[in-house]
Amino acid sequence: MMRFALFCLVAGIVTCVDAQAGDIVGTVKLTSPVKERAVGKKKIRPSKDWGADYDKDAEVPKGVNESEYTVVEVLGDKLPATPRKVDLVQKNKTFSPHVLVVPRGSTVRFVNQDDFEHNVYSVSEPGAFDIGRYRGKFREDQFTQANALEIFCGLHPRMNGYIVVAPNNFFAQADGKGKYKISGLPAGTYQVRFWHPRTESKTVTVKVPATGSVTQDVNL
C-alpha cells in the first residue's frame, strides 16, 4: 500500500486508481422511436443592431446517429466529483456539443462563435439559469447540482441542447454505435442510469468486479 501511495505521488496524479477497480462496458440500443427535438418557449428581444427573425432555420445536424447522445451515469454523490472547466460553443445557431456532460461542480464557458447575439437559458429544475444575451465574448456558469438540463437560446427557439451534470466522475457518452465504457470504478454494486434526451431513461443495478469488466447492454 505504501509503495502504491508513493507511486501516485511520483506520477503526480491527483486521483489514484484504486487497485480494486473494474470497468462497466456495453452497448446501448435505441429501440423506441425518439421524440422530436424540443423548441424553446422563451423569447428574448435581440438588441437593435441585429434584427433577429426568431429563426426559421433548421438547427438539427444531419447524419447524426442518435445513440451518441446517450449518457451513462453511475448514480451516487459519495463518489468523487472533480470539477472541470469546459466550453459549450454556439455556432451556426447550433449548440456544440449537443449533449455536454460534466461532473457536479464544473464550470461551463459559453462561447458565441457567430457574429450575432445568442443567449442560453434552461427552465429545468434544479439548476434553471439564464445568462442573458451576449455576443463576441463568452459567459460562464457553475453547475453544482446533478441534473439533466435542457437548454435553449431565447433568440433562436430551435437551438436546443443539454447540459448533463453528473453526480460524480463516473460517466460516459455512447459512441455512434452505442458503445460505452466507464473505467476505474471501485468494486461494488451501483445504480447506473442510461439517459437520452428524447426517450425514456432506464436505471439498472450493476455489480462491478474488483478487476476486469462487467458488460451491461441496455435497450432504451
Q: Which residue, 75, 88, 69, is CA-closest to 153?
A: 88
Beta partners for 86?
A: 108
- Least distance from Cu ion to the Cβ atom of residue 58, Å: 14
Residues 84 and 104: their CA atoms lie apart, in Å, by 9
88 vs 153, beta carbon nearer Cu ion: 153
133 vs 196, beta carbon nearer Cu ion: 133
Q: Which residue, 109, 103, 108, 183, is CA-closest to 147?
A: 103
8 vs 89, beta carbon nearer Cu ion: 89
- Least distance from Cu ion to the Cβ atom of residue 161, Å: 11
Residues 4 and 16: their CA atoms lie apart, in Å, by 9
Spatial contact of 119 and 44, defined as CB atoms under 8 Å apart: yes
> Considering only residues 28, 94, 104, 118, which one is a binding residue for Cu ion as defined by CB under 5 A?
118
Stretch that binds Cu ion, among 101-109, 118-126, 172-180, 195-203 (CB under 5 A): 118-126
Q: By rule CB under 5 A, what string of x and - marks binding of each residue 147-166 to Cu ion?
A: ------x-xx----------
Q: Which residues bind Cu ion (CB under 5 A)?
A: 118, 153, 155-156
